[in-house]
Amino acid sequence: MKKMFTIAMMALSVGAFAQQRQMVRTDNKTYQENRYQQTYNSRYGNFNFSRLYLTSRQERQLVALLKDKQTEERTILKKYRNPQQKLRMLDREYDRKIQNLLSRSQYDKWSKIYAYQYEAYGNKRWS
């Protein structure tokens, strides 16, 4: 009886130890995914266009366009006293560039979901 009890206790302790190691592996995988997300965000900014289903090339070009637009917005805001008209022209110009980059269905999703976030002359700018 004592031998069976000892064998059962050994089996339970080995099983618990194996489960604990498995949990560490999943935690390590989560850590690796978070690290990838951090390097992606540091390289491309905090852009997420998952609903558009972009190719990697399209995503790189879109991020580059948005960063260029952002730098031009800053220069316009510094340079002009009343920049609203210039910012509207800038929005139209970059809207055409984005429209040429994306397919029709992607552009429709862009205009419905994402475009308001990257608009230069919205209420968020002047409040």
pLDDT of residue 115: 80
Is residue 63 within 8 Å of 44, Cβ to Cβ? yes
Q: What pLDDT, in 10s, does the model give residues 20-76? A: 444 445 555 555 555 555 544 544 456 778 888 899 899 999 999 999 998 999 999
Query: Interhelix angle for 2-44 vs 56-79, to 10°?
Result: 50
Mean pLDDT of the 79-99 span: 92
**Alpha carbon distance 29, 100 (integer Å):** 38
